């Protein structure tokens, strides 16, 4: 990720996975999610829906941004990465997305 | 307390949405109260899908009876049995045995609440639901008019033309049947204080009510439709599996039944655009 032109910042990679405590559904091109723990309801726009659908626990977030967001939605990579990080933070705070700095199957095995 | 064996004469079958529920009580005056309150929904079928034995208790005074109704409702499943509890009733029900027991004050509100909860739990497993909505049949088609208190459910019901059959002005019963939905009449009345007709018809549309300056129908996006529908579905249980069922039912419903916004003035002409 770049903060100023030409300066590379190393950031820990993130791996994201959908929580099992949710119900979700794609309808009219948008994903709707309901937490089965507290019935909180979320709707995701097209970009967020693409991240959600790619959240398999083993694809790095940066790769999701590059392959699914930048290519399909024609957005700048830096901007897309920032948006994706915000989205992931928000959903993880609600327990809707699980986040790890290693592939989630590894994280589960190491516990 | 010992429960004496009940006889057929002590049973009243209440049939809502085509589901007969047998209610047994030794108290003849309470039986008459049930028969009057649910007139039009008292079934004659000797077979019932669920059976409840009712034990009555007297609240200490009128004030405490009112407080009991305002108590928080608790609905949970334990060891395969549903437990329902509010100040004025305690009920348990085994879906596997299709039998249950209610201990309640002799108030009609208690049995009304139990019926709503039991139907909502049964419907959830069948892709249906109870929803805060008025509903009516016209020309063989059923329409739902959904909204929170004050949105106009009773108003739209009052304005219905004479060739309309009112199913309810308060709580609608939606049952899934293959790839369509049926709206069924309910005895759960709102401000009209009039029990709905015990009839059903295929559901044609759900209208989200909104009072305005002119009558018009507007499209509603899929996510808004589901969100608004979920807000109005009666949901009692603190149970993740049931939350998921209700969520999926709302999504299925929104994908099969047109959901529109009905902006209306309190005037009979609103019914001209409902079709």
Structure token pair of residue A71? 């290519």
Note the CATH number of domain A15-102.
Answer: 1.10.10
For residue A25, which residues of chain B lie inside 8 Å, CB to CB? 226, 247-248, 251
Say if residue B33 is exposed, middle or buried (CB neighbours under 10 Å; 0-12, 13-18, 19+).
middle
Percent of chain B with pLDDT over 70: 92
* Minimum-distance CB partner of B240 among A21, A25, A41: A21
Is the dihedral angle over the CA atoms B114, B115, B119, B122 positive or is it negative? positive
**Angle B116-B121-B124 (CA atoms, 0-180°, nearest 5)?**
120
> Taking a C-beta distance cutoff of 8 angstroms, is the pair B251, A27 a contact?
yes
pLDDT at B196 over 80: yes
ipTM of the shown complex: 0.77
Give me the total of CB pairs closer than 8 Å, taking one residue from chain A and one from chain B.
42
Least confident range from A24-33, A101-110, B158-167, B212-221: namely A101-110
β-pairing, B99-104 with B50-56? parallel
Q: How far apart are CA B121 and CA B242, in angstroms?
A: 8
Structure token pair of residue B147? 């909204």
- Residue B202's pLDDT band, with cuts at 50, 70 and 90, is very high
pLDDT for the residue A9: 46
Q: How far apart are CA A57 and CA A12, in angstroms?
A: 15
Say if residue B1 is exposed, middle or buried (CB neighbours under 10 Å; 0-12, 13-18, 19+).
exposed
Say if residue B83 is exposed, middle or buried (CB neighbours under 10 Å; 0-12, 13-18, 19+).
middle
β-pairing, A97-100 with A56-60? unpaired
Structure token pair of residue A92? 């993880």
Give the closest-approach CA distance of B255 to chain A in angstroms: 8
pLDDT for the residue B68: 65
Strand partners, B146: B133, B208
* Minimum-distance CB partner of B251 among A32, A35, A36: A32
Any idea how long chain A is?
111
Structure token pair of residue A9? 């910042």
β-pairing, B259-264 with B200-211? parallel
Helix (H, G, I), strand (E, B) or coil at B209: strand
Q: How far apart are CA B130 and CA B75, in angstroms?
A: 16
pLDDT for the residue B133: 96
Phi, psi at B130, each rounded to 5°: -100, 140
* Best of A29, A31, A39, A45 to mutate (most B CBs within 10 Å, chain B): A39
For residue B222, which residues of chain A lie inside 8 Å, CB to CB? 27-28, 30
Q: Which is nearest to B123 in space by CA: B170, B182, B168?
A: B182
Q: How far apart are CA B54 and CA B46, in angstroms?
A: 18
Domains of chain B, each with CATH number or no CATH: 8-124 (no CATH), 129-273 (3.90.228.20)
Scanning B215-274 for CB atoms below 8 A from A yields 221-223, 226-227, 230, 235, 240-241, 243-244, 247-248, 251, 254-255
Q: How far apart are CA B192 and CA B153, in angstroms?
A: 10
pLDDT at B160 over 70: yes
* pLDDT tens digit at each of 111 positions of chain A: 434 444 444 567 999 999 999 999 998 888 999 999 888 899 999 999 999 999 999 999 999 999 999 988 989 999 999 999 999 999 999 999 999 999 987 655 555
pLDDT for the residue A6: 44
Does A21 reach chain B within 8 Å, measured CB to CB? yes
For residue A23, which residues of chain B lie inside 8 Å, CB to CB? 243-244, 247-248
Structure token pair of residue B94? 């085994």
What pLDDT, in 10s, does the model give residues B56-96?
Answer: 998 766 666 666 667 789 999 999 999 999 999 999 999 99
pTM metric for this prediction: 0.86
> Taking a C-beta distance cutoff of 8 angstroms, is the pair B217, B145 a contact?
no
Residues 6+ away with beta carbon under 8 Å from B5: none
């Amino acid at each position: 990720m770049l903060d100023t032109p030409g300066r590379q910042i190393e950031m820990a990679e993130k791996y994201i996975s959908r929580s099992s405590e949710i119900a979700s559904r794609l309808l009219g091109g948008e994903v709707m999610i309901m937490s089965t723990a507290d019935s909180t309801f979320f709707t995701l726009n097209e970009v967020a829906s693409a991240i959600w659908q790619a959240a398999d626990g083993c694809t790095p977030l940066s790769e999701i941004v590059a392959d699914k967001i930048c290519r399909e939605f024609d957005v700048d990579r830096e901007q897309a990465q920032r948006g994706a990080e915000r989205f992931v933070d928000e959903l993880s705070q609600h327990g809707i997305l699980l986040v790890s700095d290693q592939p989630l199957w590894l994280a589960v095995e190491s516990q | 307390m010992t429960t004496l064996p009940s006889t057929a004469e002590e049973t009243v079958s209440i049939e809502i949405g085509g589901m007969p529920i047998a209610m047994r009580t030794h108290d003849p005056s309470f039986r008459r109260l049930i028969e009057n309150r649910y007139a039009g929904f008292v079934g004659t079928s000797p077979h019932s899908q669920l059976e409840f034995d009712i034990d009555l208790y007297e609240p200490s005074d009128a004030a405490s009876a009112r407080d009991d109704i305002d108590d928080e409702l608790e609905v949970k499943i334990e060891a395969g049995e549903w437990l329902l509890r509010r100040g004025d009733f305690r009920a348990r029900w085994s879906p596997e045995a299709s039998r249950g027991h209610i201990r309640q004050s002799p108030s009609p509100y208690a049995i009304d609440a139990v019926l709503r909860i039991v139907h909502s739990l049964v419907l959830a497993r069948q892709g249906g639901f109870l929803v805060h909505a008025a509903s009516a049949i016209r020309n063989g088609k059923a329409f739902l008019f959904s909204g929170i208190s004050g949105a106009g459910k009773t108003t739209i019901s009052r304005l219905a033309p004479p060739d309309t059959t009112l199913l309810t002005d308060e709580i609608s019963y939606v049952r899934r049947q293959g790839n369509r939905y049926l709206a069924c009449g309910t005895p759960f009345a709102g401000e009209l204080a009039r029990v709905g007709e015990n009839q059903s018809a295929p559901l044609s549309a759900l209208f989200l009510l909104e009072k305005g300056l002119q009558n018009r129908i507007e499209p509603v996006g899929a996510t808004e439709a589901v969100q608004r529908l979920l807000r109005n579905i009666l949901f009692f249980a603190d149970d993740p599996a049931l939350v998921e069922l209700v969520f999926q039912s709302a999504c299925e419903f929104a994908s099969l039944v047109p959901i529109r916004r009905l902006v209306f003035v309190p005037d009979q002409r609103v019914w001209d655009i409902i079709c």
